[in-house]
């Protein structure tokens, strides 16, 4: 199971960023691997494969033996308690994931105290390619910023009526499930585990947080199948987590209650946890979405989220398990007529009072923004509101609101900006890049940044964008998001455009130089491009209800979902000030509360999130709001037109074996252009009809 | 099979308008039935049941024998060629469906030349109740206005992903199909056939015009099941039709084409028709939706609708079969930016040039309005544009756009108005009733009215609203629509409020007088009530896309469906004039083309269908458009509030065995009030935000 196997589909899965050619620099060399432990076997198999393919040689050394004249040595440090040879099942126990890289005149040694660290070191060398051997002499230590680097899958076992096989999935079916069962052939899971391990991901939750009847049973009679999935991930240092239903003691256990303070309920959960760990000793823990969007939770019993989370925490504590408890809790039956209720406040209002009450092994998992993964939101104030609670940052790799992997949108820069947001030192926060520029920094995010707050706390979690699609992610370029997420978990200070460059270099190792340039041209600023042609100035949504693809300005305006823009003939935006609005701005520490409170100091890109202003309001950019709407929507489409032209030119430089990928990208860009045009025309028409203000440039608005 | 059987469900089906007590007047008397023929057997069984229940007596007389001292004689006329005793399978051959009613000092004789006519005469007497025997002496002849009185079912055999078991069905599952098969137990179909026969319906198409893979097979290996359904309808004088897919020669027959001019295709259809009629000698014919909303059709082969329809017509002609060819054809991929394309024109543009080219047994089936069953539309000009073609009027009993059987909306008055619309004598058309008044007329609609045009042509067709719901129709009051549709087919001149009275009297025979008054109070003007709180002044739609329930003003505004309102900050409406708009108004004969062309003469209730006007435009009512919107939406909700109060009072007078019905009505009224409030608030808010014009009465608009 250590070597990747191809899918049983007729078209083999695309190798993503790990094609054989990406291993050429290592594979050409004399490589020695030394040490025991399950993951050392994984590394050895990788090296054996690479050297066989590229003409190098591979030696497996016994512990304690000399390294000879190898060009590259991958070795467990021998003065440490590395996992012994008979300890294969628990390779993940070692918490030290760091590695050292020593380069001396082209000879490279990678050392780690743990087999996981050694695996990460191996992929580090692969990523460096020739530079690993030709760079200046060095001694470097690499360690992840956080030990918790996780992906959540919203995969359903049974196809859900509305949400399908994968909730918010835009990459075909599930790699885990098909036909209502866990797949018999898990070879795609093994390939996926390898891809994730190469970026540094070490935990995966394998089922949807909306736990339906079939999925709930993974916890009980589905355990043998979960164990098979865990076995597919294990050689890559990845632990498996399950999303569970808070009502499981009733629905699965037949108890009359799921009250978290009921002794029978506590016993049921303890027994359930004992059974899981007995079967899967390196199991990670449970993920829970409770009392949100119809999921059951502790509220039914007059208990709060701390009661609920601590119930489960006690059950998994003997096994060093974790509870990821989502903070995505709000009133989804809001009355749009009532402007005092604010969904943006909900997570804060629900969780801030509970700070200090959660058990040590509970992680409160907080979406990056207060709403729901919009292309632009302020940073959730909850991330800074729970100093005595372990908090994880939740991102969304799957592009629910950002083009659904039909649009080329590289999110690495968005996530980088989120991670660098400094709650206390507002002025020091890197400014939002102007369209056309790129973020680039190697300054580690400070302790009061988002990255700093979660690093030694709950780490990072994101919703995966991978499925059984030939290219894993629908849009081949969406692979870059999966890659960048993993790399940013390891190093939140990494330059996101640099990470994109890594992905390009590994994924297209044989392509002409112009290809990399073209992909950068398309993706570097694609996040802002998407923002340009969709909802303006941070107001969010304006998508088709339900599936969330394509424009519908009023789609959610008169619904119970709490996602409004309040546009009328005079102006637009949500007043979230303390002075006259919902008070959301006051949930931030200074200086942000003051910055957001005033329309004069609020950043343009969040203006309509915090303020209701006239269309004639003049932005810092010097434009009126209405002219900004027109200009950005025209510009967004023009940019996508350039994407199409750029790719059309570049794809001719791709090798023949990339023809299917090239065609897929072309198809998706065609759809992106159609959709962006739709966004432009609907948004501009909507606001022209409503405001009556003509475009100063006299362009066509219908 | 002649007597109704109860459903196998635990809760028996509500008897609708044929409870045993509705037969009391007949059942108390001495009744003689004379004649042979299959349907005479049906009548005899009905009379035997009624007299047994209510204390009368029943005599079955041989042909030619005397009638004795019976109070009621039901007799085939003996000097006519009534179906003989060995002709049981083809009772529907007799085209004469009329009957004579002779009343002489309380003794009543019903005569007919056909057993179907006698069945209708029997139910006529049942409807009259005691009045049949106590009215003045009379000799009356009753005949249907048209021989074609049909219901279409949009029932799927397999549950459709999006549309479910019954497309646009709001009454539970299908009475025909369950679990992907034709039901084994067709007792509900038998009960349904009896209900329909009592209103005069004589043809039923049993499957959805959107013919999916499973449904297509009814034509081939499903024939034995279709024959079983036909057998359930036959004792009630009802012939069965099938909706078929134009692509069937390919999908079912394995041919390489479905080209209507291909000899092999023609042969395939002839063979298919031969097989159907061999199995079901009284089969009615095929219903086809071609080249519309994704259904296959002749366009794929460069042929037109006449080519397509005539292909099928030739196949069924040897069996006296009919082809119902729907005129619901339009570009459902319209560009909202292009205001010159007009869905309202589509059926006319497609079909008017083909007039005279359709075979004699083709019926072009035309929706009553040019759009899609809105609560208010102008009459489709297509109905008058095909003088050399057989044309049927298509109505929608199922309340897709009129409250989905959650709202109490009696449509009899809407249909009556449609049937009486006079294409040539505009001034003579009965005016639209003011809210609070009711139509009442016994003047037969003239030859240039809709009723006159279709009577000797294609007759009437409607989409049924019945399902396996306990009350047949979801909302018990929606039974009245099914009842009134059948009765209006027979007599388009009938007073629709009178028909409602018939339904109430038969359905609630034991109720206190206040109950009938309350139901009239709720239903008489319920059509206008629904109009008041939904889309204003004929502009239509403004519903949630997809399911079409509840308000969403812009829901279809920027879609490809051709259903727009074009509201901006200054005004609203669709310019369909010849002078400056799409020219749709010009498709009418005079005087309507002139009446609709001018905003000054266009009836208020259709103003926004034909004209784009400022919110300040003054209606004939003296109100501005914007104030009309506010006023009607407030009034609509107030009316529904009165419905709730009226029913709350009335239900206490109902007998105990009506408790479930009473509760169902209460539940639905509660939902109607919630939904009407939603409509009011969203519409008023939308237009206040857009127009900026305050309500002159200062009421709350959010």
Per the residue annotation, which of B93, B130, B293, B568 is the catalytic one? B293
What is the pLDDT averaged over residues B396-417? 98
* Positive/negative CA dihedral, A244, A250, A253, A258: positive
The pLDDT, as a whole number, for residue B95 is 74
Q: Are B558 and A570 within 8 A, CB to CB?
A: no
Token readout for A619 is: 């932005």
What is the pLDDT averaged over residues A581-603? 97
Residue A610 to residue A603: CA distance in whole angstroms = 10
Q: How far is CA B40 from CA A46, B139, B153, in A?
A: 87, 22, 27
Q: Are A692 and B569 within 8 A, CB to CB?
A: yes
Closest CA to B7 of B480, B15, A542: B15
Residue A604 to residue A531: CA distance in whole angstroms = 13
Residue B20 to residue B509: CA distance in whole angstroms = 10
Q: Are B690 and A568 within 8 A, CB to CB?
A: yes
CB B643 within 8 A of CB B522: yes
What are the tens digits of pLDDT across the range B102-145? Answer: 999 889 999 999 999 999 999 999 999 999 999 999 999 999 99
Residue B468 to residue A578: CA distance in whole angstroms = 55
The pLDDT, as a whole number, for residue A428 is 47
| Closest residue in chain A to residue B555, using alpha carbons only | A555
Residue A118 to residue A132: CA distance in whole angstroms = 15
Residue B524 has pLDDT above 80, yes or no: yes
What are the tens digits of pLDDT across the range B445-456? Answer: 788 999 999 999
Q: How far is CA A629 from CA A414, A633, A688, B61, B313, in A?
A: 21, 6, 10, 85, 57
Residues written for chain B? 702
Q: What is the ipTM of this complex?
A: 0.88
Chain B residues inside the 8 Å CB shell of A570: 692
- Among A58-67, A283-292, B325-334, the range scoring the smallest mean pLDDT is A58-67
- Among A393-397, B253-257, B443-447, the range scoring the smallest mean pLDDT is B443-447
What are the tens digits of pLDDT across the range B352-405? Answer: 999 999 999 999 999 999 999 999 999 999 999 999 999 999 999 999 999 999
Residue A396 pairs in a beta bridge with A463
Residue B94 has pLDDT above 50, yes or no: no
Chain B residues inside the 8 Å CB shell of A558: 551-552, 678, 681-682, 685-686
CB B589 within 8 A of CB B423: yes
What are the tens digits of pLDDT across the range A4-45? Answer: 333 445 689 999 999 999 999 999 999 999 998 899 999 999
Per the residue annotation, which of B372, B528, B531, B597 is the catalytic one? B372
Chain A residues inside the 8 Å CB shell of B551: 558
Does the annotation mark B600 as catalytic? Answer: no
Residue A93 has pLDDT above 70, yes or no: no
Chain B residues inside the 8 Å CB shell of A674: none
Q: DSSP of B383-435, one letter per residue?
A: GGS-TTSEEEEEEE-S-TTTTTTTS----HHHHHHHHH-BSS-GGGSPPPPPT
Report the percent of chain B where pLDDT is more than 70: 93
Per the residue annotation, which of B400, B495, B521, B525 is the catalytic one? B400
The pLDDT, as a whole number, for residue B425 is 77
What are the tens digits of pLDDT across the range A107-119? Answer: 999 999 999 999 9
Residue A361 has pLDDT above 50, yes or no: yes
| Closest residue in chain B to residue A693, using alpha carbons only | B569
Distance from CA of A692 to the nearest CA of B (A): 7
The pLDDT, as a whole number, for residue A444 is 67
Chain A contact probe: residue of B569, B674, B685 with most A CBs at under 10 A: B569
Chain B residues inside the 8 Å CB shell of A569: 569, 689-692
The pLDDT, as a whole number, for residue B513 is 84
Residue A457 has pLDDT above 60, yes or no: yes
Confidence category of residue A213, pLDDT binned at 50, 70, 90: very high
Average pLDDT value for chain B: 93
The pLDDT, as a whole number, for residue B64 is 79
- Among A501-510, A634-643, B275-284, the range scoring the smallest mean pLDDT is A501-510
Residue A478 has pLDDT above 70, yes or no: yes
| Closest residue in chain A to residue B700, using alpha carbons only | A337
Of B558, B689, B690, the CB nearest to A682: B558
CB A83 within 8 A of CB A119: no
Distance from CA of A542 to the nearest CA of B (A): 12
Peptide bond into A591 cis (omega under 30): yes
SS3 state at B322: strand
CB A330 within 8 A of CB A562: yes
Residue B76 pairs in a beta bridge with B112
Q: Are A337 and B689 within 8 A, CB to CB?
A: no
Q: How far is CA A677 from CA A135, A137, A681, B314, in A?
A: 47, 52, 6, 48
Q: Are A685 and B569 within 8 A, CB to CB?
A: no
Q: Are A570 and B337 within 8 A, CB to CB?
A: no
The pLDDT, as a whole number, for residue A95 is 74
The pLDDT, as a whole number, for residue A371 is 97
Residue A85 to residue A60: CA distance in whole angstroms = 14
Residue A211 to residue A221: CA distance in whole angstroms = 15
Label residues B3-38 b or e (16+ Cβ within 10 Å = b): ebeeeeeeeebbbbbbbebbbbbbbbbbbbbbbbbb
Token readout for B341 is: 């394309």
Report the percent of chain B where pLDDT is more than 90: 88
Token readout for B618 is: 């003054």
> Residue A674: which residues within 8 A CB-CB, separation 6 or more?
none
Q: Are A690 and B558 within 8 A, CB to CB?
A: no
Chain A residues inside the 8 Å CB shell of B691: 569
Residue B417 to residue B441: CA distance in whole angstroms = 11
Per the residue annotation, which of A400, A417, A469, A525 is the catalytic one? A400
- Among A8-17, A688-697, B31-40, the range scoring the smallest mean pLDDT is A8-17
Q: Which residues of A touch B (CB under 8 A)?
A: 336-337, 551-555, 558, 567-570, 678, 681-682, 685-686, 688-692, 702
Residue A152 to residue A397: CA distance in whole angstroms = 10
The pLDDT, as a whole number, for residue B161 is 82
The pLDDT, as a whole number, for residue B106 is 87
Q: Cβ-count burial of A671 within 10 angstroms (0-12 exposed, 13-18 middle, 19+ buried)?
A: middle
Q: How far is CA A550 from CA A525, A534, A555, B552, in A?
A: 20, 9, 10, 16
Q: Which sequence spans correspond to the domains of chain B?
A: 20-142, 149-497, 531-574+612-691
Distance from CA of B161 to the nearest CA of A (A): 8
- Among A152-161, B239-248, B608-617, the range scoring the smallest mean pLDDT is A152-161
Token readout for B526 is: 């319920």
The pLDDT, as a whole number, for residue B11 is 80
Residue B108 pairs in a beta bridge with B72, B103
| Closest residue in chain B to residue A551, using alpha carbons only | B558
Q: DSSP of B82-135, one letter per residue?
A: PPPTT-GGGGGG-----EEEEEETTEEEEEESSHHHHHHHHHHHHHHTTHHHHS
Residue A669 has pLDDT above 80, yes or no: yes
What is the pLDDT averaged over residues A670-698? 98
Q: Which fold has domain B20-142?
A: Chitobiase; domain 2 (3.30.379)
Q: Cβ-count burial of B89 within 10 angstroms (0-12 exposed, 13-18 middle, 19+ buried)?
A: middle
Label residues B570-605 b or e (16+ Cβ within 10 Å = b): ebbbbbbbeeebbbbbbbbeeebbebbbebeebbbb
Does the domain at residues A149-409+455-473+482-495 carry the CATH identifier 3.20.20.80? yes
Per the residue annotation, which of A372, A417, A469, A631 is the catalytic one? A372
Q: Which fold has domain B149-497?
A: TIM Barrel (3.20.20)
The pLDDT, as a whole number, for residue A593 is 96
Token readout for B41 is: 């057997």
The pLDDT, as a whole number, for residue B401 is 98
Token readout for B495 is: 């007073």
Does the annotation mark A372 as catalytic? Answer: yes
What is the pLDDT averaged over residues A573-600? 97
CB B627 within 8 A of CB B615: no
Closest CA to A7 of A126, A173, A163, A234: A173
Residues written for chain A? 702
Chain B residues inside the 8 Å CB shell of A553: 554
How far the first Cα of chain A sits from its last, in Å, is 58
Query: Parallel, antiparallel, or unpaired for β A177-178 and A181-182?
Result: antiparallel
Residue A551 has pLDDT above 70, yes or no: yes
- Distance, C-alpha B596 to centroid of its chain: 27
Chain A residues inside the 8 Å CB shell of B543: none
Of A558, A678, A690, the CB nearest to B690: A690
Does the domain at residues A531-574+612-691 carry the CATH identifier 3.90.1330.10? yes
Chain B contact probe: residue of A558, A567, A677, A679 with most B CBs at under 10 A: A558
The pLDDT, as a whole number, for residue A79 is 58
Q: Are A685 and B558 within 8 A, CB to CB?
A: yes
Cα dihedral B78→B82→B85→B90 (10° resolution): -170
What is the pLDDT averaged over residues A162-177? 95
Of A554, A691, A702, the CB nearest to B554: A554
What are the tens digits of pLDDT across the range B71-89? Answer: 999 999 975 444 444 443 3
CB A38 within 8 A of CB A142: no
The pLDDT, as a whole number, for residue B177 is 97
What is the pLDDT averaged over residues B631-648? 98
Chain B residues inside the 8 Å CB shell of A554: 552-554, 686
What are the tens digits of pLDDT across the range B658-686? Answer: 999 999 999 999 999 999 999 999 999 99
Report the percent of chain A where pLDDT is more than 90: 88
The pLDDT, as a whole number, for residue B395 is 98
Q: Which residues of B touch A (CB under 8 A)?
A: 336-337, 551-555, 558, 567-570, 678, 681-682, 685-686, 688-692, 702
pTM of the model: 0.91
Residue A443 has pLDDT above 70, yes or no: no
Closest CA to A405 of A678, A671, A691: A671
* Positive/negative CA dihedral, A366, A371, A374, A376: negative
Helix A115-128 and helix A38-54: axis angle, to 10°?
20
List strand residue ranges (DSSP E) for A609-671, in order. 613-614
Average pLDDT value for chain A: 93
| Closest residue in chain A to residue B338, using alpha carbons only | A702
What is the pLDDT averaged over residues A304-315? 98
Chain A residues inside the 8 Å CB shell of B559: none
Does the annotation mark A215 as catalytic? Answer: no
The radius of gyration of chain B's CA atoms, rounded to the nearest angstrom, is 25
Of B569, B681, B685, the CB nearest to A689: B569
Residue B422 pairs in a beta bridge with B449
Residue A430 has pLDDT above 60, yes or no: no
The pLDDT, as a whole number, for residue B286 is 98
Q: DSSP of B424-478, one letter per residue?
A: S-GGGSPPPPPTT------SPP-TTBHHHHHHTTT-EEEE----SSTTSSSSGGG
- Distance, C-alpha B125 to centroid of its chain: 24
What are the tens digits of pLDDT across the range B530-581? Answer: 999 999 999 999 999 999 999 999 999 999 999 999 999 999 999 999 999 9
Q: Are A552 and B558 within 8 A, CB to CB?
A: yes
């Amino acid at each position: 199971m250590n070597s990747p196997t191809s899918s049983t589909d007729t078209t083999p899965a695309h190798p993503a960023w790990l094609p054989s050619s990406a291993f050429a620099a290592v594979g050409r060399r004399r490589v020695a691997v030394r040490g025991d432990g399950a993951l050392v076997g994984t590394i050895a198999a990788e090296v054996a494969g690479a050297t066989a393919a590229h003409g190098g040689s591979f030696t497996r050394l016994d512990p304690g033996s000399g390294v000879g004249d190898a060009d590259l040595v991958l070795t467990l440090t021998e003065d440490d308690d590395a996992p012994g040879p008979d300890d294969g099942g628990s390779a993940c126990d070692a918490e030290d994931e760091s590695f050292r890289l020593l380069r001396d005149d082209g000879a490279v040694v990678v050392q780690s105290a743990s087999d996981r660290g050694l695996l990460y070191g191996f992929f580090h060398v692969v990523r460096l390619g020739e530079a690993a051997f030709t760079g200046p002499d060095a001694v470097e230590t690499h360690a992840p910023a956080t030990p918790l680097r996780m992906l959540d899958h919203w995969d359903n076992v049974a196809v859900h009526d509305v949400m399908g096989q994968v909730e918010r999935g835009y990459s075909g079916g599930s790699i885990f499930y098909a036909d209502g069962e866990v797949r018999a052939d898990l070879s795609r899971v093994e390939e996926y585990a390898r891809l994730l391990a190469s970026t540094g991901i070490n935990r995966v939750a394998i089922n949807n947080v909306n736990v339906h009847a079939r999925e709930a049973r993974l916890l009980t009679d589905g355990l043998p199948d979960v164990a098979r999935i865990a076995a597919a991930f294990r050689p890559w240092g990845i632990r498996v987590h399950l999303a569970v239903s808070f009502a499981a003691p009733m629905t699965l256990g037949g108890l009359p209650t799921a009250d978290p303070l009921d002794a029978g309920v506590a016993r049921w959960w303890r027994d359930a946890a004992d059974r899981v760990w007995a079967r899967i000793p390196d199991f990670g823990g449970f993920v829970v979405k409770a009392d949100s969007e119809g999921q059951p939770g502790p509220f039914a019993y007059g208990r709060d989220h701390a009661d609920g989370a601590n119930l489960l925490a006690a059950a998994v504590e003997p096994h060093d398990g974790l509870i990821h408890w989502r903070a995505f809790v709000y009133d989804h039956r809001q009355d749009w007529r009532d402007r005092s209720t604010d969904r943006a406040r909900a997570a804060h209002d629900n969780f801030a009072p509970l700070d200090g009450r959660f058990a040590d092994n509970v992680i409160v998992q907080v979406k990056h923004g207060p709403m729901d993964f919009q292309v632009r939101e302020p940073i959730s104030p909850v991330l800074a509101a729970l100093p005595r609670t372990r908090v994880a940052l939740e991102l969304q790799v799957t592009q629910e609101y950002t083009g659904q992997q039909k649009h080329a949108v590289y999110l690495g820069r968005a996530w980088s900006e989120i991670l660098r947001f400094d709650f206390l030192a507002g002025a020091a926060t890197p400014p939002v890049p102007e369209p056309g520029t790129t973020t680039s920094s190697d300054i580690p995010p400070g302790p009061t940044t988002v990255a700093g707050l979660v690093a030694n706390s709950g780490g990072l979690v994101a919703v995966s964008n991978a499925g059984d699609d030939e290219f894993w992610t629908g849009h081949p370029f969406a692979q870059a998001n999966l890659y960048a997420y993993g790399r940013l978990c390891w190093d939140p200070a990494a330059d996101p455009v640099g990470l994109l460059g890594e992905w390009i270099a590994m994924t297209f190792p044989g392509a002409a130089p112009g290809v990399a340039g073209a992909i950068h041209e398309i993706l570097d600023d694609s996040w802002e491009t998407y923002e340009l042609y969709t909802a303006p100035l941070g107001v969010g949504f304006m998508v088709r209800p339900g599936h969330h693809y394509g424009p519908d300005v009023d789609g959610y305006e008169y619904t119970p979902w709490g996602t409004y823009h309040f546009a009328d003939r005079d102006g637009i935006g949500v007043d979230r000030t303390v002075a006259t609005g919902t008070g959301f701005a006051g949930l931030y520490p200074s200086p942000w509360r003051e910055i957001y409170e005033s329309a004069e100091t609020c950043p343009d890109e969040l203006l309509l999130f915090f303020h209701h202003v006239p269309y004639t309001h003049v932005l810092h950019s010097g434009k009126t709001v209405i002219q900004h709407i027109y200009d950005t929507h025209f510009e967004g489409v023009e940019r996508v037109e350039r994407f199409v032209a750029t790719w059309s030119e570049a794809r001719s430089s791709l090798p023949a074996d990339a023809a299917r990928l090239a065609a897929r990208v072309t198809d998706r860009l065609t759809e992106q252009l159609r959709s962006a045009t739709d966004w432009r025309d609907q948004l501009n028409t909507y606001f022209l009809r409503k405001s009556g203000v003509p475009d100063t440039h006299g362009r066509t608005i219908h």
